[in-house]
Amino acid sequence: MNHDELTREVYAHYGLSMYFSQVLEHGIVNALTLIDFIPSNIINTTSRSEWEDKHDKFTEYHFKKTLGSMIKSLKKHIEIENDFEFKLNDALEVRNFLAHHYFQQRTDIFMTEKGCYEMIKELKNYQTTLRDADTLLESVIRPYRIKVGLTDEKLNESLERYKIGDEI
């Protein structure tokens, strides 16, 4: 692989790593929707438009937060086991490093073929860290999801309808 192709490969893996950090952020906001928004609004909301407006404001508020603040909000609503907290903290550290320092601290090795391969390997490890945190989040939140009626079957049905363009 020539250096230009290798450079594009590094950028692709960096982009994928950042994508997985955003997947985790969305997962946390979805979790907060299940454990905070729905229980707080299910009884005192009178119309679909009111529900949608409240939900939009809720998610907008949380998406403005940093990942660290999102994690703190999650901890206020559920008990987080040590392994999960460790994975979330690891993911937070990885995300912040990627967003704020990654290329700055890799300038020298980015110029070499060997360095690019090292970066790709490192980025793949970061992807795993971020995906593992999201997977564990899903397993922790699953009981809350099922409690509000979002079973695996319903989610799969919705995904299939979405894929073919049906309204969910």
pLDDT tens digits along 17-38: 999 999 999 999 999 999 999 9
- What does the pLDDT average to over 26-53? 92
pTM: 0.90
Confidence class for position 167, pLDDT limits 50, 70, 90: low
Give Cα 121 distance to the centre of its chain: 21
Mean pLDDT value across residues 106-133: 96
Q: How far is CA 65 from the centre of its chain?
A: 13
Higher pLDDT, 147 or 33: 33
Structure tokens at 47: 């119309």
The structural domains of the chain, with segments of one domain joined by +, span 3-164
Cβ distance 126 to 98 under 8 Å?
yes
CB 129 within 8 Å of CB 94? yes
For residue 163, name the pLDDT band (cuts at 50, 70, 90).
Answer: confident
Asked if 9 and 1 count as a contact pair (C-beta separation under 8 A), the reply is yes
